[in-house]
Amino acid sequence: MSLRLRLTLLVSGAVAVAVAAVSIATFLLARRELRSEIDDFLLARAAVVDLVRAGLSEQDVPRPFRPGFEFPLAGLIGTDSIVQLVDTSGELILAFRGAPLLPVETVDLEVAGSDHSTLLRDVTVNGVEHRMVTVAIPRLGLLQIARSLAETNGILADLRNALLLIGGFGVALSAVVGWLLAGRALVPVGHLTAAAEHVAETQDLAAPIQVEGDDELARLARSFNTMLEALASSRHQQQQLVIDAGHELRTPITSLRTNIEVLARTEGMDPSDRDRLLADVRTELDELTMLVAELVELATDAHPTEAPISDLRLDEVVSEVVELTRRRTGREISLEAQPTTVDGRPVMLERAVRNLLDNADKWSPDDKPIEVRVRDGRVTVRDHGPGIPEEDRPYVFERFYRSAEARTTPGSGLGLAIVRQIVEAHGGRAWIEPAPEGGTVAAFEIPTR
Is pLDDT above 70 for 131? yes
Strand partners, 311: 343
Put simply, whether the predicted model's pTM sits higher than 0.75 gets the answer no
Task: Note whether 120 and 39 are within 8 A (CB).
Answer: yes
Asked, for residue 167, whether it belongs to a domain, the answer is: no
Q: In terms of domains, do 319 and 406 share one?
A: yes
Is pLDDT above 60 for 2? yes
> pLDDT (tens digit, 9 = 90+) per residue, 219-233?
877 887 888 887 777
- Reported as half-sphere exposure (CB side, CA atoms, 13 A), residue 314 has a value of 28
Is pLDDT above 50 for 353? yes
Q: In terms of domains, do 37 and 139 share one?
A: yes
Q: Give the CATH number of the domain where residue 356 resides.
A: 3.30.565.10
> pLDDT (tens digit, 9 = 90+) per residue, 44-77?
877 765 555 555 544 454 444 444 444 554 554 5
pLDDT-derived band at 111, boundaries 50, 70, 90: confident
Helix residue spans in 203-313 (DSSP H): 216-265, 271-300
| DSSP states along 22-59 | HHHHHHHHHHHHHHHHHHHHHHHHHTTHHHHHHH--GG
Tell me the average pLDDT of the chain: 79
User: What average pLDDT does the segment 363-374 reach?
Assistant: 90
Asked, for residue 261, whether it belongs to a domain, the answer is: yes
Is pLDDT above 90 for 315? yes
Q: In terms of domains, do 348 and 405 share one?
A: yes
Q: In Å, how far are 42, 142, 295, 371 from 364, measured between CA atoms? A: 115, 123, 25, 11
Count of domains for the chain:
3
Cα first-last separation, the chain: 50
Most confident by average pLDDT, 163-172, 204-213, 414-423: 163-172
Is pLDDT above 70 for 241? no
Is pLDDT above 50 for 399? yes
Q: In terms of domains, do 243 and 313 share one?
A: no
Task: Note whether 304 and 421 are within 8 A (CB).
Answer: yes
CA 282 – CA 338 distance, rounded (Å): 42
pLDDT-derived band at 82, boundaries 50, 70, 90: confident
Q: In terms of domains, do 16 and 125 share one?
A: yes
Asked, for residue 82, whether it belongs to a domain, the answer is: yes
Output 299 or 177, whichever has higher pLDDT. Answer: 177
What's the pLDDT at 4? 80
- Domain extent, residue 401, equals 307-445
User: What average pLDDT does the segment 182-187 reach?
Assistant: 78
> pLDDT (tens digit, 9 = 90+) per residue, 135-172?
887 777 888 888 889 888 999 999 999 999 998 998 89
Task: Note whether 164 and 23 are within 8 A (CB).
Answer: yes
User: Of 105, 134, 155, which one is at a domain's C-terminal end?
Assistant: 155
Which amino acid makes up residue 247? Answer: H
User: Of 116, 137, 155, which one is at a domain's C-terminal end?
Assistant: 155
User: What average pLDDT does the segment 88-97 reach?
Assistant: 79
What's the pLDDT at 65? 43
User: Of 128, 155, 182, which one is at a domain's C-terminal end?
Assistant: 155
User: What average pLDDT does the segment 234-257 reach?
Assistant: 69
Q: Percent of the chain, pLDDT > 90? A: 22
Q: In terms of domains, do 315 and 357 share one?
A: yes
pLDDT-derived band at 303, boundaries 50, 70, 90: very low
Asked, for residue 186, whether it belongs to a domain, the answer is: no
Q: Percent of the chain, pLDDT > 70? A: 78
Q: In terms of domains, do 138 and 76 share one?
A: yes
Output 353 or 1, whichever has higher pLDDT. Answer: 353
Q: In terms of domains, do 412 and 320 share one?
A: yes
Asked, for residue 35, whether it belongs to a domain, the answer is: yes
What's the pLDDT at 247? 58
Asked, for residue 433, whether it belongs to a domain, the answer is: yes
Residue 391 DSSP label: G
pLDDT-derived band at 319, boundaries 50, 70, 90: very high
What's the pLDDT at 73? 47
Closest CA to 375 of 315, 428, 311: 315
What's the pLDDT at 403? 57
Q: In terms of domains, do 285 and 311 share one?
A: no
What's the pLDDT at 270? 78
Environment class of 349 (CB within 10 Å of its CB; exposed 0-12, middle 13-18, buried 19+): buried
Asked, for residue 195, whether it belongs to a domain, the answer is: no
Is pLDDT above 80 for 265? no
Q: In terms of domains, do 14 and 57 share one?
A: yes
Which amino acid makes up residue 136? Answer: A
Asked, for residue 207, whether it belongs to a domain, the answer is: no
Cis upstream peptide for 64 (omega within 30°): yes
Q: In terms of domains, do 142 and 8 share one?
A: yes
Output 108 or 308, whichever has higher pLDDT. Answer: 108
Q: b vs e for 372-398, b when ≥16 Cβ sit within 10 Å of the residue's Cβ?
A: bbbbebbbbbbbbbebbeeebbeebbe
Q: Give the CATH number of the domain where residue 106 resides.
A: 3.30.450
Is pLDDT above 60 for 252? yes
Q: In terms of domains, do 251 and 283 share one?
A: yes
